[in-house]
Structure 1
Amino acid sequence: MRHDPPSRPPRGPRPPGESRPWDRSGVRSRQERFSERTAQVQRPRDDDSLHEHQHEHEHDANHALRERRSAELRLYGLNAIQAVFSRRPQAIRKLYLAEARIPALQPLLKWCVANRVGYRVVDELDLHKLAASSHHEGIVADVLREEPQPMSSWLRDLPAGPQCAIWLDGVGNPHNFGAILRSAAHFGIAAILLPKHSTLALSGAAARVAEGGAEAVPLVRMGRSDNAIAQLRSAGFTLAATVVQGGSDAFRTELPQRLVYVLGAEGEGMDRELAQACDLRLSIPGSGLVESLNVASAAAVLLAAWRAKR
């Protein structure tokens, strides 16, 4: 006689008070769920996350380094660095020099020691590398960059009486810029005026060519050209566009007490609209054997012409 196993009762709502055994093979306990969540929280980042975190850290460090470097300027040349020491010694951050320069630089070295500014005696090859030039004259320094001042601040503090300034429109060659700064310092010029979007800035090469003139002549950042012209005229300045041909003789023209020479780029010359907006157009007469002087030489001649009439 065959006995069939009893059939499993159908599932349905349990009567009150009745319990039913459960198959727990697919069910996680509260402790198991808690342990799994804890493991997920404590699990280390995967390689991509670690790489991303490291990349962000490196980006921040590089950004800080770029900011520090942009705030500093590497100068070289004896007169350029001595000028910084004389006018704003607190701007000096680090100094490198040849051993032969030690006797002549005793005041600067004593100041460095007293103010905990590091200096190092290095050989000639190291100075070449630091300056990226052979014209270092035995000394290289990292100094804080002095940013151009706003036009309004410069005009506010400008003394009354005769004043001359140079507006550089598109000039970019650092050696020409340095030569202009040297001439401007020699003739006691009030400022170099830089257009709003000009990328021209003092470099080590320009400062060396200026032979200390970079510390003597302020750089002034203008706003929009039409506003700058209006501000200058309100302060009593006459603007003179310098042109190769077609201008009045710079030596024979009566030059005003307060004058701004507007000098154009080395190759392209001055912006046409800017030239038309000026009050005077001046040319430097010559033999005609060459087309013109370069911008730095022209600046020196024009500044001398203005100074001669004072």
Structure 2
Amino acid sequence: MKQEQLFGIHAIEKLLKQSPHLIYALSVQKGPLNKRVQALVDQAKRLDVTVNTEAKSFFNQVEGVHQGVIALVAKQADLTESDLVKMVEEINNPVFLFLDEVQDPHNLGAILRTADATGVDAVVIPKHNSVGLNATVRKVACGAAETVKLVVVSNLARTLKDLQQKGMWMTGLAGETDQTIYDMDFKGSVGLVMGAEGTGLRKLTRESCDHLAAIPMVGSVESLNVSVATGVTLYEVYRQRHLAK
């Protein structure tokens, strides 16, 4: 199985707690360890995860903010369009989140974290012009990159159409509509479609949605950061499905 590096104390803590079997080894910088890193080492040893001590020069060669600790983890198998179709058929009223060319790894990481918190069944990104699952995304996601299914598709608009034929209703977030997310019915099989930073939804993606909805804005700014907008909308989806009477 392919391997990749995971940075960030918080992200490694969560993975050790949730899926220690995915960690091949933990590397820590030689010398005195702070309390959090020492706790990671102790937990890894209790779980029979190999712990390696490396010189500072080892970490200097690694790109990314690693805080003196790196986990070598198993790269999860890639999911495809066919996996999405199976999920729609097997899960009762699933929630899928589609990201139309989101390119900032911090945004994708934050979105994965919120997707995990709100019970999203899959996050879908196009193969081209989108940030993939890299070390920065994993760190910002704080373990959610290992728990949320991330599916890469070759053609986002076609995928939307295929899933619509399976009964999933697609709602795209856009500012130029009178409907708000609070007017929508998110209780069934839901596809939520978010646009890219700055440019929003592409024309073909927008035309592939069943509905467009906006987040109400009463201030002077015209739009929200895509990760913030996604968080607001996902919690409205969660509210309707789990909290609304």
Identify which of 32, 38, 42 aligns with 1:106: 42
Match of 1:16 in 2: none
Q: Is the 8 A contact 1:96 1:127 kept in 2?
A: no
Which structure would you say has the larger RCO, counting Cα contacts within 8 Å and 6 or more residues apart?
2
Q: Is the 8 A contact 2:26 2:71 kept in 1?
A: yes
Identify which of 110, 130, 136 aligns with 2:62: 130
Q: Is the 8 A contact 2:103 2:196 kept in 1?
A: yes
Alignment pair present for 1:195 and 2:126: yes
Identify which of 88, 93, 97 aligns with 1:162: 93
Deviations 1:125-172 (A, max 9, x none): 865653532xx3442123232243012123324543232111111101
Identical amino acids, percent of aligned pairs: 26
Q: Is the 8 A contact 1:178 1:208 kept in 2?
A: yes
Match of 1:251 in 2: 182
Distance 1:213 1:240 in 2: 24
Identify which of 104, 120, 131 aligns with 2:53: 120
Identify which of 59, 65, 76 aligns with 1:146: 76
Deviations 1:99-136 (A, max 9, x none): 232244323134456xxx4511555x865653532xx3
Match of 2:165 in 1: 234
Secondary structure of the residue that 1:214 maps to in structure 2?
helix
Distance 1:237 1:224 in 2: 17
- Mark the CA change 1:274 to 1:157 in structure 2 (over 3 Å): closer, same or farther: closer
Secondary structure of the residue that 1:240 maps to in structure 2?
strand
> 1:264 Cα shift?
1.0
Match of 2:199 in 1: 268
* Residue type at the aligned position of 1:102: Q
Identify which of 70, 77, 102 aligns with 1:171: 102
Distance 1:196 1:177 in 2: 14
1:1-310 equivalences under 5 Å are: 71-98=2-29, 99-100=33-34, 101-112=37-48, 117=50, 119-120=52-53, 127=59, 130=62, 132-133=64-65, 136-157=66-87, 159-310=90-241
Q: Is the 8 A contact 1:83 1:215 kept in 2?
A: no
Root mean square deviation, CA, Å:
2.6
- Mark the CA change 1:226 to 1:294 in structure 2 (over 3 Å): closer, same or farther: closer
Deviations 1:27-64 (A, max 9, x none): xxxxxxxxxxxxxxxxxxxxxxxxxxxxxxxxxxxxxx
> 1:255 Cα shift?
2.7
Distance 1:199 1:73 in 2: 19
> 1:246 Cα shift?
1.9
Deviations 1:174-224 (A, max 9, x none): 000111001101101111111243542111111111111111210112243
Secondary structure of the residue that 2:72 maps to in structure 1?
strand
Q: Is the 8 A contact 1:240 1:262 kept in 2?
A: yes
- Mark the CA change 1:90 to 1:104 in structure 2 (over 3 Å): closer, same or farther: closer
Q: Is the 8 A contact 2:110 2:140 kept in 1?
A: yes
* Gap runs ≥5 in structure 2: none
Secondary structure of the residue that 1:220 maps to in structure 2?
strand
- Mark the CA change 1:122 to 1:95 in structure 2 (over 3 Å): closer, same or farther: farther
Distance 1:154 1:220 in 2: 8
Count of residues paired in the alignment:
235
